[in-house]
Amino acid sequence: MFRNFFILAVSICTAGSLFALPDHDEKTARKIISGHISDAESGESLIGATLLVKELGVGTVSNSYGFYSIAVPAGTYTLVSSYIGYHDFEKEMDLSKSQRLEIGLMPESEELEEIQVLGERKDQNITQVEMGVEKLQTKTIKSIPALMGEVDLIKAIQLLPGVHSTAEGGSGFSVRGGSPDQNLILLDEATVYNASHLMGFFSVFNNDAIKDLKLYKGDVPAQYGGRLASLLDVRMKDGNAKKFEGTGGIGTISSRLTLEGPLKEDQTTLLLSGRRTYMDLFMPLASEEEVKDSRLYFYDASLKLSHRFNENNRLFVSAYLGRDVMRSEFFQIGFGNKTLTARWNHIFNQKLFMNLTAVWSRYDYELGTPEDEPDSWIWESDLEDLGLKADFGYYITPEHSLKFGLQSFHHAFNPGMAMGVGDQSFFGEYLVGKNYALEHAGYLSHQHQLGDKLVMKYGVRVSLFQNIGKGTVYDYDDNYAVVDSTTYASGEVYQNYWGVEPRFGINYLVAPDWSIKFNYNRSQQTIQQASNSAAGSPLDIWFPASPNIKPQLADQFALGVFRNFQNDWYQASVEVYYKDMQNTIDFADHADLLLNKYLEGELRVGDSRAYGAEFLLKKTEGNLTGWLGYTLSRTERTIPEINNGKTYVAPFDKTHDISTVLNYRLNRRVSLSANWIYSTGQPVTLPVQRYEINGTVLPYYSERNGARYDDYHRLDLALTLQGRNKRNRAWSGEWVFSIYNAYSRKNTWALNFVQDTENPTETYAEKTYLFPIIPAVTYNFKF
Amino acid sequence: MKRKHILFYLLIGTLLFSCTERVDFELDEAGEPRLVVFGEITSDTMAHAVSLSKSAPYFYNQPPQMVSDAQLTLFDGVESIVLSEDPERPGVYLTPNDYSGVVGRSYRLDIAGVDINADGEAETYYAETEMRATAPVHGVGVVYNASWDGWEVGVFSQDPSETEDYYLFKIYRNGVLYTDSIHNYRVVDDRFFNGNEITGAYVQYFDEEKDEIVEEGDTITLEMAGITKAYHDFIVGVNIETGPKAPLFSGPPANIPGNISNGALGFFAVMEVARGSTVYNGAVVHD
């Protein structure tokens, strides 16, 4: 591990010094303009803001840290920087020599918006080469009606084309038919292994502490890998660098508070954010003894510290802690994520940007019963990551830019340990057995502008996955019975899997307002989740590739047409994709996935494929904003030992999926929002015959996922009332009234076939539905 | 065992919000009926029964059609016997009265002379299994657990350390088999207590909410059987398929894995049984 880090560190320094050679731009007459783009009021850096050199018609985009750089021939130019929700910044500059320019964009305030005639071009969707990428602003997320008023970015993502929820009200999401464990969820570069609170009904992210999120549905940058379906890149706010401020809310089930401000103006900023649910605080009032002593809550807390040493060096430290606790008289469970990231941004010279990241992440759970019973026990499981990454951006000319880097991760898996506790317990100790892995990768990606119509992006990611001791590997026979085992010594590498993952994208600008894009993407997944239920539970464990399990592979091809209308107020797109996957994992019938040493014997491996078309019409400006998305898709698996080898639809397949998200601003203080979702019911396996043994009626099934639940649809509404803004008062507040499932549709959550207790020869179908109409009130404030 | 409890608690959290309702469902074409076999042969000396019936479309909602006039032979590696149909109960075939299983022997049941798919030609079926030893029942305990309103039946025993063992538990109240329906069978593997002394762990229960009442002075008998992994998996399958399903942790429904050849359903099991009894003294916990 440490040796790898050492090698990595040496490589980084070498790479850095290579590119840090003196600039030859003075001679070649190329001048560089570089700097950061940030919010002028808070100092928060802006990700993906554009800088356009008007006269040349060339431009660049700020990176994840707000940094930009562009090299142009010497001359005097008009520079325009823009970002959605901000006023354009325009400046004429004499570039007879290279210069730094720190750009601050003014946010569009509500009053100003009304007199604004037409916004400037927001046509990144057309000009950028990336596709299958969805960006959501926290402001948009906030305006979407939410379950119990809890603003939730994952629920917002589920409303995008190609993305849907895996179960009613759940925060698991499926991207282009993939399983939830095929999504890489990063919070400030740290992997979040379980993104849900409270059995999946809420996600772990507190919107107030989030700056930006981006979902890559296919075109995952070469910098990232390890998952087949998507990358959800969530970035925490840096905190206000100019003044102290607080935001918060008092909601129906939880309250939250975020404090941010400069410790030293424009140099060191701190952000602290916390949230806790409080339904359990009412439990002591309950009349029932059992409820009284029960606890059911979750909390999360985040911290971010940013420090600017000088214009070339910045340091960011972010930490996240979230926990769910459920406790009753005879049982308790706790689970949660912890992440810690330290990043150092270094600008070697105006063209070469580096970010060095050290990251630690952990997910764990523990559960148990009270001691001193004959069957008292505890059970624990955890997963811990430690990694180092070095990422470089090299902005050669406006036509050429390179991204490259190296990364190395150490994973420690403790799939489960259970033991009896106390003198009386008859349970022994059961260890599934820890195991370890290393994951290294290097990547290089080149963005190349050919003329003013064609942009290409090509790159490759080379990865090496290594299982290392100490660990035990079991050998299985053709019937998945264990025949032998081998134990490897600590540090011994017992399996290597190399992966070469090409990434390619091309954008052809047909006209200024429309473009055609194509991309191809290969990805490899070496860590996956043992979960065969729709919604997943906090107990589902992650397990690595091994001598018995080959990495999963996906090749995705996508083609899209993007067109904007009416000065970019309307954005429309159509994307089609085809994804071919190998070594897809499914599970044996009635698989035993928890606390099982022989988990690998429960896996069944085959192939799968997904294809579909995604239509999106979005309105970004004006009083009415929102989008309409429609997805037509199919995902299917062929696994020899499942469904008699016949192809069956994947558990998250949805033929039709419509999402409508609308926000209408009635006036300065009142806005209304609504979303309506319609989708084909999820696949289900239904019995065709019954048989009786000793009076119990048992089902006989013919085809896996051969039928579907009823169609799913739901309408949610919200009304936001802003308090009167007084210029001399810092406090501003707003009320949000929301209704989830406004027409109380009884969408199927579970379907059971039940034998009538009164009349045992009779069986009937019974559906379970959650959440009839649920109203909620939230008060949000800012000071 | 352990895991089922947890899932139960996780479910509670969710079900706080949920409602259920009967729905009508159109199911696919049922296809041809299949033979259903069920029989348990134990170490007791008695006439053991094997029943034959037919599967039916799922919403058939009538008692199953029994299969008569079949020829059943059972071979235990030493002798071969013929089972004869009970004149009182069509479709139920009995061993001779003096028959008992022997630990360590392999068994094969052959079924002939049935025409389930009604194509005019008789089919043949068979099942193979073996008889595993059970652990002794040193004692039985019964307490009323007030926290969930039911009587827990605990066992005192000793699990052997050298073998992977699977146990089946049934309970009798005053000599009458209470867990007479297969979805009330409880099975456990020794994964979490291999080689340990078992000191009263609860393995079966009477559910007060289902009017399964135990009164002070009742004699409760616990039957513990040593079963094969295949039979254990069959009962686990039955428990999963007859229990509630929820998207949090239920995998896709699947057919219960039986051990009868030729596409027939059900199970033919052989097992050693041990019993222990106690008189319920009215003990209550978690009051």
Query: What pLDDT digit, counting tens, does each position of A528-555 carry?
Result: 999 888 777 888 999 999 999 999 999 9
Q: Give the mean pLDDT of A156-166.
A: 91
Report the complex ipTM. Answer: 0.92
Q: Are the beta carbons of B198 and A296 separated by less than 8 Å?
A: no
Q: Are the beta carbons of A199 and B56 separated by less than 8 Å?
A: no
Question: In whole angstroms, what is the distance from residue A78 CA to residue A69 CA?
Answer: 15
pLDDT band at B287 (very low <50, low <70, confident <90, very high): low
User: Minimal Cα distance from A200: which residue of B?
Assistant: B248
Does some domain include residue A193? yes
| Both structure tokens of B239 | 């428990």
B239: part of which helix (H) or strand (E)? helix B229-242
How many Cα atoms within 13 Å fall on the side-chain side of residue B157?
29
Q: Which residues contact A403 (CB under 8 A, 6 or more apart)?
A: A221, A222, A223, A391, A392, A393, A394, A443, A444, A445, A446, A447, A459
Does some domain include residue A558? yes
Which CATH number do you get for residue A665? Answer: 2.40.170.20
Q: Tell me what percent of the residues of chain A surpass a pLDDT of 90.
A: 53
Strands (E), A526-655: 527-530, 541-544, 552-565, 570-587, 603-619, 624-638, 648-649
Does some domain include residue A392? yes
User: Minimal Cα distance from A768: which residue of B?
Assistant: B20
Q: What is the pLDDT of residue A773?
A: 85
Encode burial over B77-105: b for 16+ CB neighbours within 10 A, e otherwise: eeeeeebebeeeeebbbbbeeebebeeee
Task: Tell whether the torsion through CA atoms of A66, A70, A76 and A80 is positive or negative.
Answer: negative
Question: In whole angstroms, what is the distance from residue B152 CA to residue B142 CA?
Answer: 6
Q: Are the beta carbons of A428 and B193 separated by less than 8 Å?
A: yes
| Both structure tokens of A449 | 């502008």
pLDDT band at A405 (very low <50, low <70, confident <90, very high): very high
Q: Of A290-299, A596-605, B9-18, where does mean pLDDT reach its minimum? A: B9-18
The pLDDT tens digits for B166-216 are: 999 999 988 888 777 887 889 998 888 888 888 878 888 888 877 888 889
Q: Of A27-31, A241-245, A620-624, B93-97, where does mean pLDDT reach its minimum? A: A27-31
Does some domain include residue A745? yes
Pairing of strands B92-94, A696-701: unpaired
A22 lies within 8 A of chain B by CB:
no
Q: What is the pLDDT of residue B110?
A: 96
pLDDT exceeds 60 at position A675: yes
pLDDT exceeds 80 at position B8: no
Q: What is the pLDDT of residue B2?
A: 43
Q: What is the pLDDT of residue A23?
A: 47
Does some domain include residue A518? yes
Residues of A in contact with B196 (CB under 8 A): 426-428
Does some domain include residue A123? no
Residues of A in contact with B286 (CB under 8 A): 329-330
Q: What is the pLDDT of residue A171?
A: 83
pLDDT exceeds 50 at position A116: no
Distances in whole angstroms, Cα of residue A137 to Cα of each of A36, A213, A288, B99: 19, 7, 44, 76
Question: In whole angstroms, what is the distance from residue A733 CA to residue B138 CA?
Answer: 69
**CA nearest B253: which of B233, B266, B238, B267?**
B238
Q: Of A656-670, A764-778, B108-122, where does mean pLDDT reach its minimum? A: A764-778
A426 lies within 8 A of chain B by CB:
yes
| Both structure tokens of A594 | 């928890």
Highest mean pLDDT among A205-219, A730-744, B256-270: B256-270
* Full residue range of the structural domain in which residue A562 is found: 133-782
What is the Cα gyration radius of chain B?
21
**Optimal mutation site among A294, A426, A430, interface B, most CBs of chain B within 10 A:** A426
pLDDT exceeds 50 at position A676: yes
Q: Of A162-166, A359-363, A726-730, B110-114, where does mean pLDDT reach its minimum? A: A726-730
| Both structure tokens of A576 | 């089609």
**Optimal mutation site among B15, B22, B27, B239, interface A, most CBs of chain A within 10 A:** B27
Does some domain include residue A550? yes
Global confidence as pTM = 0.89
Q: Are the beta carbons of A696 and B183 separated by less than 8 Å?
A: yes
Q: Are the beta carbons of B20 and A768 separated by less than 8 Å?
A: yes
pLDDT exceeds 90 at position A724: no
**How many domains does the structure of chain A reveal?**
1
Does some domain include residue A111? no
Domains, chain B, in order of start with CATH, read: 137-233+274-285 (2.60.40)
Q: What is the pLDDT of residue A750?
A: 86
Q: What is the pLDDT of residue B238?
A: 93
Longest dimension (CA), chain B: 63
Q: Phi and psi dihedrals of A344, rounded to 5?
A: -125, 120
Pairing of strands B166-173, B186-189: antiparallel
